[in-house]
Amino acid sequence: MIPELGHYALMLALGLALIQGTMPIVGTRTNDPVLMSMAAPTALAQFFFVAIAFASLAICYITSDFSVLNVFENSNSHMPFIYRLTSMWGNHEGSMLLWVSILAFFGALVAAFGTNLPVVLKANALAVQAWIAAAFHLFILTTSNPFVRIAQAPFEGQDLNPILQDPGLAFHPPMLYLGYVGFSIAFSFAIAALLEGRIDAAWARWVRPWVLGAWMCLTLGIAGGSYWAYYELGWGGFWFWDPVENASLMPWLAGTALLHSAVVMEKRGALKVWTILLAILTFSLSLIGTFLVRSGLLTSVHAFATDPTRGIFILAILVVFIGGALALFGWRAPLLKQGGLFAPISREGALVFNNLFLTTACATVFVGTLYPLALEALSGEKISVGPPFFNSTFGPLFVPLLVVMPFGPLMGWKRGDLLGAAQRLMAAALLGALATAAAFAIEQGGPALAPFGAGIAVFVMAGAVTDIAERTLFTRVPFRASLQRAIGLPRSAWGTAFAHFGIGATLLGIVAVTAWGSERIAEVKIGDSLDIAHYRLTLDGLFNREGPNYRDMVGRFTVRRMNGEYIGVMEPSRRSFPDRNMTTTEAALMTRGVSQLYLSLGDPGPNDQVAVRLYFKPHVLLIWLGAAIMFAGGALSLSDRRLRVGAPRPAKARAVLQAAE
């Protein structure tokens, strides 16, 4: 009964999406306020029915209803509650339902809270949102229905892939999808603006909170996935340049560019056409990202062909939405009026520089990910494009971006003072140089360029601090006055500083762990010791331990300092799942400050020997801490009154701001 209810609700949602996608548009063409006002209630109703469908599937999973094929294939009644629920989106059908639920949720948010939007813009944007929803509803209903029943319900379900039985699954895909789908709002508003042929700075103000929110979720989603891979894979890699990771990195890069160009548009009315194009591209990349993963195209060109209905449908959605949007852009964009003069050396100029490098980096990832597929499809030749390619192309693109980054916020609008900004960044540059020198002195080995990487990271972080210090006139006015200025600063200024600081922290972590991490691979017997960095690990014993649906073979290691001081115990294990006949490596991690010791077990050999891999990962936690700081920066910006309300700021705040400029 419940699966049928969900199935039926999804069909109703499709019907509502079709109404929501047509009537308001007709209304804006015929200038009929009644038709236009249909957009909001249909969006809310559509979300209501999608939510019912989502809840139905969730109930099937929680109650382990194995008469539903999707539940039978991906769940098992022995699993703990949390994994019974999260395995719902650990498969194609369920994850598509999650995707479309988030889409409908965002549409409903615009409908409910976009009360200050112009009527025509709101009607058009919600209609475009409904087109996307309708395409996805249709895709799910025709090719990926999660509610299909089995005639004779099995007694027990198959298992969920053990790798996915992890809190990471509860967190990572929903965050990623919140990011991907969040960009659909920017897309819908861009298409709506093109349909109307009118756009102004206020457009950027309405769209920016959505872009910011999506960017925050995507940042956290990518970082969460990276940390998950780090502790789960058993050898402590944090980024693999895997096509699937690239699929999520591309919308992030384009979204970051969009975030910055929207600022220029909001404050100065310039870069309108470019911002519209970026909004279209960012969501297009989100769609491509979703589908590259879902279609199996990445595994190989042949995997795509094994399930043609799904693949063709996906291709059709991509062609219609991306091609259609770009065609509309080519046709209507010349109608949009450009505005806002600025000199090359200015805040705008710095943001254009940012956009140029971010989009080039994004294009590099794009071509690197898809080139092997294209080449194979066209000529049949197979080449590999892997991490070494991306490291040697992506790195050089990011260095100038990072070096210029601290200058941006110190530059004035319209015409900036490069020399003045450079003078104010002297202290930050000095710190960066000191860090480089210190890295040369302390760290032996590692690539010769690594200390400079550390220097740039410190420069970026110090630059973000300089920005705040300059705005609060720190050291130039009494401390109390500075503090008051700091409180009076617009939250978005704090947001910028936090986000930029976070980038620096992430970079520092990446440089430190790739250049100066150390590794030991060895066979050990009970009583043997391994030395790494300033730690000595001794294997005390090997034993078995039973879990709810697995068995662990645990190695117990005591960690001591070189002088014998006891620090703690690490217990890595080999975890075998009898239901699946699979074994995973559960690494043990010990955090020391922001560095980590990382220990994983291999197969036990003869004579009670066991192979181990031991790593020292210096400053590795900074990678994800940096992402968390970026997220906090986004949240600060989002809480800025000007963005949230879209209302003029109170006179008092304005006085403070002017004084600070």
User: Residue 59 or 375: which CB sits closer to other proteins?
Assistant: 375
Per-residue binding letters, 210-249, with other proteins (x by CB under 8 A): ---------------xx-xx--xxxx-x--xxxxxx-x--
At its nearest, how many Å lie between other proteins and the CB of residue 458?
A: 26
At its nearest, how many Å lie between other proteins and the CB of residue 247?
A: 8
The interface region with other proteins, picked from 61-69, 338-346, 426-434, 614-622 by CB under 8 A, is 338-346
Residue from 152, 382, 480, 651 binding other proteins (CB under 8 A): 382
DSSP reduced 3-state for 415: coil
- Distance, in Å, from the CA atom of 286 to the CA atom of 544, rounded to the nearest integer, reads 44
55: its two tokens:
């809840």
Residue from 4, 156, 531, 603 binding other proteins (CB under 8 A): 603
Contacts of 518 (CB under 8 A, 6+ apart): 532, 533, 615, 616
Residue 535 φ then ψ, to 5°: -125, 150
At its nearest, how many Å lie between other proteins and the CB of residue 295?
A: 9
- Distance, in Å, from the CA atom of 122 to the CA atom of 133, rounded to the nearest integer, reads 16
| Under rule CB under 8 A, residue 251 binds other proteins | no
Q: Sign of the C-alpha dihedral, residues 436, 633, 225, 533?
A: positive
| Under rule CB under 8 A, residue 432 binds other proteins | no
User: Residue 79 or 130: which CB sits closer to other proteins?
Assistant: 79
Positions 434 through 493 that interact with other proteins (CB under 8 A): none
User: Residue 282 or 364: which CB sits closer to other proteins?
Assistant: 364
User: Residue 246 or 637: which CB sits closer to other proteins?
Assistant: 246
Paired sense of beta strands 551-561 and 573-577, if any: antiparallel
| Under rule CB under 8 A, residue 549 binds other proteins | no
Of 108, 105, 7, nearest in space to 56 by CA:
7
- Distance, in Å, from the CA atom of 616 to the CA atom of 537, rounded to the nearest integer, reads 12
User: Residue 491 or 574: which CB sits closer to other proteins?
Assistant: 574
Positions 490 through 529 that interact with other proteins (CB under 8 A): 521-523
Residue from 324, 387, 420, 568 binding other proteins (CB under 8 A): 387
User: Residue 381 or 565: which CB sits closer to other proteins?
Assistant: 381
Residue from 33, 330, 388, 578 binding other proteins (CB under 8 A): 388
User: Residue 20 or 261: which CB sits closer to other proteins?
Assistant: 261
Q: Where is 26: in which H helix or E strand?
A: helix 2-30
At its nearest, how many Å lie between other proteins and the CB of residue 336?
A: 14
User: Residue 79 or 462: which CB sits closer to other proteins?
Assistant: 79
| Under rule CB under 8 A, residue 595 binds other proteins | no
At its nearest, how many Å lie between other proteins and the CB of residue 487?
A: 37
Instruction: Classify residue 281 as left (phi > 0), alpha (psi -120 to 50) or beta.
Output: alpha
Q: Where is 561: in which H helix or E strand?
A: strand 551-561
Of 546, 547, 549, nearest in space to 157 by CA:
549
User: Residue 383 or 442: which CB sits closer to other proteins?
Assistant: 383
Please give the single-letter amino acid code of residue 440: F
At its nearest, how many Å lie between other proteins and the CB of residue 229?
A: 4
Residue carrying structure tokens 């480089």: 436
| Under rule CB under 8 A, residue 85 binds other proteins | no
Positions 342 through 381 that interact with other proteins (CB under 8 A): 342-344, 349, 352, 356-357, 359-361, 363-364, 367-368, 371, 375, 379, 381
Q: Taking the CB of residue 278, how many other CB atoms lie within 10 A of it? A: 25
Residue carrying structure tokens 């906090």: 632
At its nearest, how many Å lie between other proteins and the CB of residue 602?
A: 4
Q: Taking the CB of residue 48, how many other CB atoms lie within 10 A of it? A: 15
| Under rule CB under 8 A, residue 570 binds other proteins | no
Write out the DSSP string of 94-132: HHHHHHHHHHHHHHHHHHHH-TTS-HHHHHHHHHHHHHH
| Under rule CB under 8 A, residue 83 binds other proteins | no
| Under rule CB under 8 A, residue 531 binds other proteins | no
Per-residue binding letters, 280-299, with other proteins (x by CB under 8 A): -------------xx-x-xx
> What does each C-alpha distance from 394 to 109, 448, 579, 639 come to in angstroms?
37, 18, 42, 33
| Under rule CB under 8 A, residue 74 binds other proteins | yes
Residue 148 φ then ψ, to 5°: -65, 135
Residue carrying structure tokens 């009970």: 526
DSSP reduced 3-state for 20: helix
Residue from 393, 484, 538, 558 binding other proteins (CB under 8 A): 393
User: How far apart, in Å, do the first and last CA atoms of the chain sit?
Assistant: 64
At its nearest, how many Å lie between other proteins and the CB of residue 430?
A: 30
C-alpha torsion 491→492→493→499, nearest 10 = 110
User: Residue 131 or 230: which CB sits closer to other proteins?
Assistant: 230
| Under rule CB under 8 A, residue 122 binds other proteins | no
- Residues that bind other proteins (rule: CB under 8 A) add up to a total of 78
| Under rule CB under 8 A, residue 116 binds other proteins | no
User: Residue 37 or 393: which CB sits closer to other proteins?
Assistant: 393
Ranges of H-type helices in 63-80: 69-74
| Under rule CB under 8 A, residue 579 binds other proteins | no
At its nearest, how many Å lie between other proteins and the CB of residue 525?
A: 12
| Under rule CB under 8 A, residue 261 binds other proteins | no
Local structure of residue 320 (DSSP, 8 states): I
User: Residue 7 or 294: which CB sits closer to other proteins?
Assistant: 294
Of 27, 43, 41, nearest in space to 121 by CA:
27
Of 194, 44, 173, nearest in space to 104 by CA:
44
| Under rule CB under 8 A, residue 172 binds other proteins | yes
User: Residue 324 or 330: which CB sits closer to other proteins?
Assistant: 330
646 neighbors 205 (Cβ within 8 angstroms): yes
Supply the angle between the helices 347-379 and 243-268 in degrees, to the nearest 10.
150
Residue from 30, 31, 384, 475 binding other proteins (CB under 8 A): 384
User: Residue 169 or 220: which CB sits closer to other proteins?
Assistant: 169
205 neighbors 266 (Cβ within 8 angstroms): yes
533 neighbors 549 (Cβ within 8 angstroms): no
Positions 151 through 170 that interact with other proteins (CB under 8 A): 160-161, 163-164, 168-169
User: Residue 435 or 599: which CB sits closer to other proteins?
Assistant: 599
| Under rule CB under 8 A, residue 311 binds other proteins | no
Residue from 30, 115, 392, 544 binding other proteins (CB under 8 A): 392
Paired sense of beta strands 566-570 and 551-561, if any: antiparallel
